[in-house]
């Protein structure tokens, strides 16, 4: 019998293994319990706080029974790329990025409603509806922010889904936020960047004149334009959106200097909008030669720009060269300011952009009530279609809004993108939030 | 109203946790801390010393592991084996080492010799005297032995009842109205059942009830899981619970007689193999594993019953072990079981059997070499299984990376982890979780389900309850009458602990996910039946005075003359 007794210790080994296993689990629970719990409980339990827009409109909340979205389907769809959904289909949505902040969890009580928090967005959900309406079914990205506070007031990307009633087969790209998560060929809006680089690197740029016959050959490679602009100043070249003048300017600035400015303006970096990662852009960095550099200077070649990066650029121009970093969450923190470009450069660009609007886009007649400084872009995608862009800001201390509108596979910037911007900016000015 | 419900929910959470801890501590105090004295059956006088004989199976010799240690010159490490049967007949065997064994001047034949009170033994030249204890003397000694019950089992059971009522209250808040009457009935019936058994035990003078209390505690959690996940089947679950407890009583009663028990090993082995054979040939495939037999609308898992049979057959008496040392027939039996289970596709259960086999063969042979040999063999077999059955390999591939596969092979484990963590320490309340809607939550992920609904503390108590039973099995082995009971109890607990480990750690991604049941708690009738039947082995080993109904009280066992078959004869002795 005593032999058996001694051998019975083998059972204790099993018991010890279980104690060890249980200890490991408890330690892992302490370490990772929060992320474990929140991984699925956002779908399954009422531990969520609420997500409000800047005016207190509930975009997502828990009603005591289940997690809900805004009551109105129009609001849900227009704001889809801001909110995302509980299931995390849209990776860049606030619900996906901030679920950890919104839900309550403690090691003692597990997920709790008690510790769940309320997140307030800088976005105005009604402006998003206006933008969504103006987009009218096309694939587009619309961004508006207050360049003095950084608050993103409007962020709409289409196609989108209704998170409360998702389509069985969503439209292609319905889960991609075109404002943040993608970069597109910029076309002529990129001339703003080339212009800024030229102002800073060519001292007599405003004394120079540029001649355009609608066709120009660099080292045997043609650069074309829609029309012949003949003799024009730097300012007129931007207003004319003259490819030939800007190709020459880009070549004059030089690839390295231009690239350096593109990089300084943050077009090649991934940024974070209140913690939501954004896409990086592209500009030729290997030596490409003058013809290609000419095309790159007018926003073609391999140029890619994320609409969000362009929003930062136009914000900084509007705010006298100081960037107030855009933000999506109103957490009471002070705006993050940084010197983006020379105040003088910003001033010059502002004048040029205003001149462009007045001379070519119809000024006040086309944009009543808006003190607009802007630039269009019609980027050839290489498949016969084009991306229509419109980017700029209101030079109006009462309404300091910067904006970027991009419509994919559309017509021209002025005909397809500008009306969306006008609709949203007009609504914003009329509502005049915060100001 | 909802304020009141919230208030009651909060109170019940803390009360239930408190009661779980108190029940556990009281059972620990009774099972593991109370004095556990040996029975004395006879004496062996060695010179001036008188050694009490406390087991029915004793090894005599110089070895430290001998039960009657005779540290004398020329004595063999194990010189002789002395056994007692139910009738009180003592038989001495020679193991045929050097020195020889004589009784009253005659050498002991290979089939042993029947000892009488006062017989003079000669072991390796040393003279010893065997002194049997007549019934009256045994009764006097027995009267001095500690009776369990200082930690009142009635109070512990009362605490369990309160726990059950609070649990029922939580279900009352969360269950659908149409299910509530049946849930309440099931809980009430369980309370009636446990008190009836307790009273019946008091009537027949049995004082130990902690094993049953812990089993009922686990069964209660199982009932809660059933009420949460399959409330429409509460009646079935209740009937199965009653049947399981009835089978437990029956099995315990059966184990009272060692001879009967040992004689039936072969027939039961044959039955078990037949059952597995039928299972291999005709069975329903449920998700890869064909471990279900169904007839007349009822389905059951034969492998669960085979678990009981396996322990029953695998345990053995010491004299048998010592005189017939080969493990061959047992290894063959085990191999057939494991292969049959592998053929059925129930690899989880095959693994449970294999670990039990390791423990059993170690308990029987004490040979680490055998264990290593078996492990090597199993490693090869496992490698084969993984290469033949791709879904097993996938499970292994997922192990440790469930979050990378959370919509595919890690689906269940990630849900289990998430639900378990969202319950925190105190739980969301019975019936208020979401894991119940995930496939197999009420069987394979039951630990997480309990964590989610009742909290981590109660889930840990659930594991501790089985650990306490395992420690008690080891403790009982020390004072056991026959090694059969000691081995059976230890094998039972290793089987249940292995199941527990695979179930809990599989669902928590600390081990590959194998899909075995958590003893008593996982939903499943066959599993509940087998767990309760296995508890009978634990009761069979509970040798405290007047503690267990599965042990015949020593002070009431009249000595009787040997059966004819026990007479030492040329054919040898059957034990």
At B346, is the pLDDT very low, low, confident or very high (cuts 50, 70, 90)?
Answer: confident
In which band, very low, low, confident or very high, does the pLDDT at A435 lie, cut at 50, 70 and 90? very low
Q: What is the pLDDT of residue A43?
A: 61
Tens of pLDDT, residue by residue over A360-373, are 988 888 899 899 99
Q: What pLDDT score was predicted for residue B570?
A: 39
Q: Where are the beta strands (DSSP E) in B287-387?
A: 289-295, 298-300
What is the tens place of the pLDDT at every residue in B57-105? Answer: 999 999 888 899 999 988 998 899 999 988 889 999 888 778 889 999 8
Asked if residue A172 is part of any domain, the answer here is: yes
CB B402 within 8 Å of CB B413: yes
Share of chain B above pLDDT 70, in %: 92
Taking CB atoms and an 8 Å limit, are A39 and B483 in contact across chains? no
In-domain check, residue A7: no
For residue A131, the Cα-to-chain-centroid distance in whole angstroms is 15
| Confidence check: pLDDT of B552 > 70 | yes
Same domain flag for A406 and A302: yes
Q: Which of A394-408, A410-424, B173-187, B325-339 has the lowest mean pLDDT?
A: B325-339
CA pair distance A408, A389, nearest whole angstrom = 9
B319 and chain A: CB distance < 8 Å anywhere? Answer: no
Banded pLDDT at B297 (limits 50, 70, 90)? low
Say yes or no: A356 contacts chain B, CB-CB below 8 A: no
Residue A206 sits in the same domain as residue A300: yes
* Residue finishing a domain among A69, A101, A121: A121
The answer to whether the CB atoms of A10 and B363 lie below 8 A apart is yes
- Asked whether residue A312 is domain-assigned, the answer is yes
A379 with A186: CB under 8 angstroms?
yes
Q: Output the pLDDT for position B515.
A: 81
pLDDT at position B204: 93
**B191-240: pLDDT as tens digits:** 999 999 999 999 999 999 999 999 999 999 999 999 999 999 999 999 99
pLDDT digits (tens, 9 = 90+) for B168-201: 999 999 999 999 999 999 999 999 999 999 999 9
Sketch the domain layout of chain B as residue ranges: 43-143, 146-398+406-545
Test B510 with A37 for CB contact under 8 angstroms.
no
Q: How confident is the model at residue A376 (pLDDT cuts 50, 70, 90)?
A: very high
Q: Is the pLDDT of residue B293 over 60?
A: yes
Question: Do A82 and A52 share a structural domain?
Answer: yes
C-alpha closest to that of B335 among B365, B373, B369, B301: B373
Do A325 and A350 share a domain, yes or no? yes
Residue B455 pLDDT class (50, 70, 90 cuts): very high
Our CA-based measurement puts residue A35 at a distance from the nearest CA of chain B, in whole angstroms, of 8
Q: Do A110 and B428 touch (CB under 8 A)?
A: yes
B406 chain-A contacts, CB cut-off 8 A = 39
Q: Output the CATH code of domain B43-143.
A: 2.60.200.20
Domain boundary among A121, A153, A169: A121
- Burial label, A426 (beta-carbon count in 10 A; 0-12, 13-18, 19+): middle
Residue with tokens 């080993």: B541
Q: How far apart are CA A97 and CA A181, in angstroms?
A: 13
User: In this structure, are A95 and A205 located in the same domain?
Assistant: no
Determine the pLDDT at residue A47. 61
Distance from the Cα of residue B488 to its chain's centroid:
7
- Are A138 and A270 in the same domain? yes
Q: What is the DSSP letter of A103?
A: S
Q: Count the Cβ atoms, other than its own, within 10 Å of residue A165.
A: 10
3-class secondary structure, A386: strand
Cis amide bond preceding B62, omega within 30: no
The answer to whether residues A225 and A87 belong to one domain is no
B291 pLDDT more than 70: no
Domain-located, residue A6: no
The closest alpha carbon to B44, from B34, B31, B58, B25, belongs to B58
Which chain B residue shows the shortest CA-CA distance from A33?
B421
pLDDT the model gives residue B433 = 87
Degrees (nearest 5) of the Cα angle B186, B191, B195?
145
Q: What is the pLDDT of residues B14-47, one digit of tens each?
A: 999 999 999 999 999 999 998 888 889 999 999 8
Q: Find the mean pLDDT for residues B131-148.
A: 89
Looking at this predicted complex, what is its ipTM? 0.92
β-partners of residue A144 are: A154, A403
- The predicted model scores a pTM of 0.77
Q: What is the CATH number of the domain that holds A74?
A: 3.90.1310
On whether both A378 and A270 belong to a single domain, the answer is: yes
Q: Which domain holds residue A313?
A: 126-431
- The single residue listed with the structure tokens 């531990």 is A47
pLDDT in tens, B417-438: 999 998 999 998 999 888 988 8
As for how many domains chain A has, the answer is 2
pLDDT of residue B574: 39
What the block records as the tokens of B497 is 């602990």
Instruction: Let me know whether A89 and A178 are in one domain.
Output: no
Secondary structure percentages of chain A, helix, strand, coil, to 5: 40, 20, 40
* Domain annotation covers residue A1: no
B559 versus B236: which is more confidently predicted?
A: B236
The string over B514-535, giving b where at least 16 C-beta atoms fall within 10 Å of a residue's C-beta and e elsewhere, is bbbbbbbbbbbbbbbbbbbbbb
Statement to judge: residues A67 and A206 lie in one domain: no
pLDDT of residue A45: 59
Does A14 sit within 8 Å of B363, measured CB to CB? no
Same domain? A114 vs A131:
no
Q: Where residue A171 sits, what CATH number does that domain have?
A: 3.40.710.10
Domain boundary among A55, A88, A121: A121
Q: Do B486 and A39 touch (CB under 8 A)?
A: no
Same domain, A113 and A244: no
Mean confidence (pLDDT) of chain B: 88
**Out of B422, B460, B487, closest to residue A111 by CB:** B422
pLDDT at A62 over 80: no
pLDDT, position B575: 35
**Is the residue at A8 inside a domain?**
no
Predicted pLDDT of residue A192: 96
- Write the pLDDT tens digit of every residue in B103-123: 998 998 888 899 999 999 999
User: What is the predicted pLDDT for the residue at B284?
Assistant: 59
């Amino acid at each position: 019998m005593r032999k058996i007794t001694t051998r019975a210790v083998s059972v204790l080994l099993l018991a010890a293994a279980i104690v060890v296993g249980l200890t490991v689990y408890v330690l892992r629970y302490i370490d990772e319990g929060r992320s474990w719990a929140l991984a699925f409980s956002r779908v399954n339990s009422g531990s969520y706080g609420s997500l409000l827009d800047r005016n207190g409109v509930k975009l997502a909340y828990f009603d005591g029974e289940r997690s809900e979205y805004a009551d109105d389907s129009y609001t849900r769809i227009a704001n889809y790329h801001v909110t995302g959904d509980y299931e995390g289909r849209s990776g860049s949505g606030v619900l996906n990025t901030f679920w950890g902040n919104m839900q309550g969890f403690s090691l003692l009580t597990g997920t709790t409603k008690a510790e769940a928090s309320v997140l307030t967005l800088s976005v105005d959900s009604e402006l998003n509806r206006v933008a969504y309406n103006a987009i009218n079914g096309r694939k587009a990205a619309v961004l508006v922010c207050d360049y003095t506070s950084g608050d993103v007031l409007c962020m709409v990307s289409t196609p989108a889904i209704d998170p409360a009633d998702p389509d069985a087969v969503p439209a292609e790209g319905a889960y991609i936020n075109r404002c943040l998560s993608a970069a597109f060929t910029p076309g002529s809006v990129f001339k703003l960047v080339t212009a800024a680089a030229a102002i800073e690197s060519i001292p007599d740029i405003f004394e120079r004149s540029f001649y355009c016959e609608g066709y120009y050959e660099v080292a045997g490679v043609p650069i074309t334009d829609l029309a012949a602009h003949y003799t024009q100043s730097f300012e007129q070249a931007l207003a004319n959106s003259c490819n030939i003048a800007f190709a020459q300017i880009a070549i004059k600035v030089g690839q390295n200097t231009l690239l350096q400015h593109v990089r300084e303006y943050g077009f090649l970096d991934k940024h974070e909008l209140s913690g939501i990662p954004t896409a990086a852009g592209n500009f030729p960095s290997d030596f490409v030669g003058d013809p290609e550099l000419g095309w790159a200077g007018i926003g073609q070649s391999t140029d890619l720009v994320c609409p969000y990066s362009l929003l930062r650029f136009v914000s900084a121009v509007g705010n006298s060269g100081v960037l107030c970093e855009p933000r999506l969450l109103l957490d009471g923190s002070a705006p993050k300011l940084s010197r983006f470009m020379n105040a003088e450069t910003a001033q010059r660009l502002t004048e040029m952009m205003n001149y462009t609007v007045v001379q070519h886009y119809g000024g006040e007649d086309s944009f009543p009530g808006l003190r607009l400084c802007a630039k269009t872009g019609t980027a050839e995608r290489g498949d016969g279609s084009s991306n229509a862009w419109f980017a700029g800001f209101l030079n109006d201390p009462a309404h300091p809004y910067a904006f970027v509108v991009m419509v994919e596979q559309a017509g021209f910037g002025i005909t397809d993108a500008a009306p969306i911007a006008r609709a949203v900016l007009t609504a914003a000015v009329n509502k005049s939030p915060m100001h | 109203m909802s304020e009141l419900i919230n208030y009651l929910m909060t109170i019940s959470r803390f009360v239930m946790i408190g009661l779980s801890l108190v029940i556990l501590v009281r059972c620990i105090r009774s099972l593991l801390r109370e004095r556990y004295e040996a029975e004395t059956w006879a004496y062996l006088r060695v010179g001036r010393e008188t050694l009490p004989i406390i087991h029915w199976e004793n090894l005599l010799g110089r070895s430290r592991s001998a039960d009657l240690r005779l540290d004398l010159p020329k004595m063999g490490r194990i010189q002789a084996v002395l056994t007692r049967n139910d009738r009180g007949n003592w038989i001495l065997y020679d193991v045929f080492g050097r020195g020889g064994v004589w009784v009253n001047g005659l050498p002991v034949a290979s089939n042993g010799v029947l000892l009488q009170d006062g017989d003079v033994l000669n072991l390796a030249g040393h003279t010893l005297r065997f002194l049997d204890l007549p019934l009256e003397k045994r009764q006097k000694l027995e009267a001095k032995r500690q009776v369990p019950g200082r930690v009142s089992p009635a109070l512990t059971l009362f605490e369990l009842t309160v726990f059950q009522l609070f649990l029922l209250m939580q279900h009352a808040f969360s269950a659908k109205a149409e299910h509530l009457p049946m849930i309440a009935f099931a809980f009430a019936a369980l309370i009636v059942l446990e008190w009836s058994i307790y009273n019946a035990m008091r009537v027949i003078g049995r004082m130990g009830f902690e094993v049953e209390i812990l089993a009922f505690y686990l069964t209660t959690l199982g009932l809660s899981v059933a009420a949460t996940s399959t409330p429409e089947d509460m009646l079935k679950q209740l009937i199965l619970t009653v049947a399981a407890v009835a089978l437990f009583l029956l099995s315990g009663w059966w184990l009272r007689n060692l001879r009967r028990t040992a004689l039936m090993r072969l027939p039961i082995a044959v039955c078990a193999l037949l059952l597995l054979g039928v299972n291999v040939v005709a069975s329903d495939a449920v998700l890869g594993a064909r471990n279900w037999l169904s007839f007349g609308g009822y389905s059951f898992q034969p492998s669960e019953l085979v678990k009981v049979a396996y322990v029953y057959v695998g345990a053995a008496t010491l004299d048998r072990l010592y005189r017939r040392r080969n493990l061959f027939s047992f290894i063959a039996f085990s191999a057939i079981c494991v292969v049959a289970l592998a053929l059925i596709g129930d690899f989880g259960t095959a693994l449970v059997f294999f670990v039990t086999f390791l423990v059993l063969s170690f308990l029987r042979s004490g040979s680490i070499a055998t264990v290593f040999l078996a492990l090597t063999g199993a490693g090869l077999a496992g490698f084969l299984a993984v290469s033949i059955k791709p879904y097993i390999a996938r499970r292994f591939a997922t192990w440790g990376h469930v979050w990378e596969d959370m919509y595919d092979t890690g689906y269940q484990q990630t849900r289990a982890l998430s639900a378990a963590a969202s319950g925190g320490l105190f739980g969301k309340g019975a019936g208020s979780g979401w894991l119940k809607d995930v496939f197999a939550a009420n069987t394979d992920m039951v630990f997480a389900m309990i964590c989610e609904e009742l909290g981590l503390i109660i889930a840990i108590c659930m594991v501790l309850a089985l650990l306490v039973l395992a420690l008690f099995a080891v403790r009982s082995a020390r004072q056991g009458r026959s090694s059969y009971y000691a081995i059976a109890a230890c094998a039972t607990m290793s089987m249940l602990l292995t199941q527990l480990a695979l179930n809990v750690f599989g669902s928590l991604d600390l081990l590959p996910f194998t899909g075995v049941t958590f003893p008593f708690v996982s939903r499943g009738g066959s599993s509940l039946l087998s767990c309760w039947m296995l508890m009978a082995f634990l009761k069979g080993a509970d040798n405290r005075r007047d503690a267990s109904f599965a042990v015949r009280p020593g002070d009431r066992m009249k000595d009787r003359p040997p059966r004819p078959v026990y007479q030492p004869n040329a054919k040898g002795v059957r034990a």
